[in-house]
Amino acid sequence: METATRGRLVVRDTPGPLGAPTVVLLHGVTLDAESNWGAAVPTLAQSFRVLAPDLRGHGAGPPARSPYRLEDCADDVAALVTALGTGPVIVVGYSMGGMIAQTLWRQYPELTAGLVLCATARNVSGSFLEQLTAMTMPFLVGAVGAIPAIFPMGADLVGGRLLGEGLDPRIRRTVLARMRRMPLVTALAAMQAVCEFSSHRWIGDVDVPCAVLLTRYDTVVPPSRQMRLARALPAARVVEVDGDHDVFLAAPGAFAHSLAAACLAVVTAQDGRPGTERAS
């Protein structure tokens, strides 16, 4: 669809029950909406209207800008929500998408009715190794962008590392093929933006109902870091799911069930009814 301020945006719009609240699903880095959320949408649509856009530089999303900024992605989502006239929405973000969801609340609190933050954190540059990675990313992005031979390379070269070793080979090939459509330099620029993100100073000010979907065996975003995010949020519900960072592909049924539980926990909190602090 065409938006007034951000141009053409692509979104998968799945209707739910009449009068159902709307959730907006924001995918992770190097992925697209279909890869990250495709298996969960039918379950969510039993209770919600589901919007799943392709983010800037990913899938069929608008072209990436230089430098890649999560704030630009949040602006795109805000323009989409405004154009569709859905009113405040529950924003669901996975990994990088969780950081964009946090940013959306900060920039557009009037559009944010609740947050569901999945396999994500306040930042991913706390340890020495993470800090070293963050410091070298700008040089890596610049170097890759300056070497013509690398231009045809795709995001699968780095995105494949986000997929667990036990993933079904057929599913892995399908997802890597979708990643390959994204230029490697764009993927690295998005990863640089992730490395630079931090919500430490303001995440405690979030004033909407929140839930954290914690991936128990995550080797990309450690569960301890996810739990620190949950503790920093005022009265966040925690829903845990057995799986690594690719649980949405490796165990789609369990992921969809847990994601729906997290979204419903936010609705319960909006209604002012007692909610369960932890569900599995």
Kindly state whether residue 187 falls inside one of the protein's structural domains. Answer: no
pLDDT digits (tens, 9 = 90+) for 269-279: 987 744 333 33
pLDDT value at residue 152: 60
41 close to 260: Cβ distance less than 8 angstroms = no
List the one residue out of 141, 120, 244, 139 whose CA is nearest residue 190.
Answer: 141
CATH no. for residue 257? 3.40.50.1820
CA 17 remoteness from chain centre? 24
How many domains does one find in the chain? 1
241 close to 91: Cβ distance less than 8 angstroms = no
How confident is residue 230, by pLDDT bands cut at 50, 70 and 90? very high
Kindly state whether residue 175 falls inside one of the protein's structural domains. Answer: no
pLDDT digits (tens, 9 = 90+) for 154-187: 899 888 889 988 999 999 999 999 999 999 989 9
Q: To the nearest whole number, what is the mean pLDDT of the chain?
A: 89
**What are the beta bridge partners of residue 94?**
118
Q: What is the pTM of this model?
A: 0.90
Kindly state whether residue 26 falls inside one of the protein's structural domains. Answer: yes
How confident is residue 280, by pLDDT bands cut at 50, 70 and 90? very low
Kindly state whether residue 164 falls inside one of the protein's structural domains. Answer: no
- For residue 5, report the phi and psi dihedrals to the nearest 5 degrees: -115, -20
Kindly state whether residue 241 falls inside one of the protein's structural domains. Answer: yes
Distance CA 239, CA 258 (A): 7
Distance CA 94, CA 254 (A): 15
pLDDT digits (tens, 9 = 90+) for 45-101: 999 999 999 999 999 999 998 899 999 999 999 999 999 999 899 999 999 999 999
List the one residue out of 239, 225, 229, 241 whose CA is nearest residue 277.
Answer: 239
Per DSSP, 209 falls in state -
Kindly state whether residue 91 falls inside one of the protein's structural domains. Answer: yes
pLDDT value at residue 257: 98
Instruction: Quote the percentage of the chain above a pLDDT of 70.
Output: 87
Domain that holds residue 59: 2-124+198-279
**The pLDDT of residue 208 is above 80:** yes
pLDDT value at residue 157: 86
Compute how many other C-beta atoms are within 10 angstroms of the C-beta atom of residue 132: 11
Kindly state whether residue 14 falls inside one of the protein's structural domains. Answer: yes
